[in-house]
Amino acid sequence: MKIIIEWVYRTPKGTETVFRSDEIPAEQGLKIAQDLEKTGRAKSITFIDQFDSTWTIKEMKKYLKEVEGEPHNITVYFDGGFDIGTGISGLGCVIYFEQNGKPYRVRKNAQTVGLNSNNEAEYAALHLSIVELELLNVKTMPIRFIGDSQVVISQMNGEWAVLEPELAKWADRIDDQLKKLGIQPEYEHVSRKMNTEADRLATQAIHGIEIIAQIELILEND
């Protein structure tokens, strides 16, 4: 989860003003807020999440303690490909998350038939990523979903209408599954160049190469 810190600063003579931070990870925000408290100049400190909900320091401490042992700070990349000649579709997703203070990456792809377009394959790839989140026991938290399909991202954001019946079925299915898991999605469109991992997984799936892997990521300063 990412948050903004808002705090009321009071000078020794009682003059007050309000400061707001940039959007930062919640763990980092809590450390900064606790440091601000030590100065004795912060009259009040509040956290604001991406859904405009407000949190106190006490509430944020409790939340971070609760999610420490579960996957959190999750970002999902997804991509789908469709081979019109064979009718084969390839789906790929990459999930980055943190758990017990360590970063992890899950990669998963799947080959499927019966889809009719690249857009439908993109929706199926997004659905695949949610299935993987459920297998990780992810529930009740905000998650970023990143893809290079302008159609899927804009439709799931509610910016574009879903006119095609087959795509509408996928969109409804995805919305229902997210609601069941309590996931608050944040959709982001990127160029294909910024989605190479998921794109490669989708292409490998079309060619019959199955990938399913989870690794702990080693940070450069470790």
pLDDT value for 222? 45
Q: What would the DSSP string read from start to end of 127-186? A: HHHHHHHHHTT--SSEEEEEES-HHHHHHHTTSS---SHHHHHHHHHHHHHHHHHT-EEE
Asked whether residue 39 falls in the same domain as residue 123, the answer is: no
Same domain, 177 and 212: yes
Does residue 87 sit in the same domain as residue 174?
Answer: yes
CA-to-CA dists, residue 2 to 25, 51, 60, 135, 136, angstroms: 4, 10, 12, 23, 21
Instruction: Report yes or no on 14 lying in a domain.
Output: yes
Report yes or no on 158 lying in a domain: yes
Query: Which of the listed residues 67, 84, 107 is the one where a domain comes to its end?
Result: 67
Are both 83 and 191 inside the same structural domain? yes
Print pLDDT tens along the chain (222 aa): 788 999 999 888 889 999 999 998 888 899 999 999 888 888 899 999 877 889 999 999 988 888 888 899 999 999 999 999 999 999 999 999 999 889 999 999 999 999 999 999 999 999 999 999 999 999 988 899 999 999 999 999 999 999 999 999 999 999 999 999 999 999 999 999 999 999 999 999 999 999 999 999 986 654
In terms of Cα–Cα distance, which of 62, 63, 58 is closest to 33?
A: 58
Structural domains of the chain, count: 2
Residues 24 and 93 in one domain: no
Does 109 share its domain with 53? no
pLDDT (0 to 100) of residue 169: 97
In a domain, 144, yes or no: yes
List of long-range contacts for 20-27, beta carbons under 8 Å, 24+ apart: 23/50, 25/1, 25/73, 26/1, 26/2, 26/60, 26/63, 26/64, 26/73, 27/64, 27/73
The CATH number given to whatever domain includes residue 115 is: 3.30.420.10
Q: Which domain holds residue 91?
A: 72-216
Residue pair 74/90 in contact (Cβ under 8 Å)? The answer is no
Same domain, 194 and 141: yes
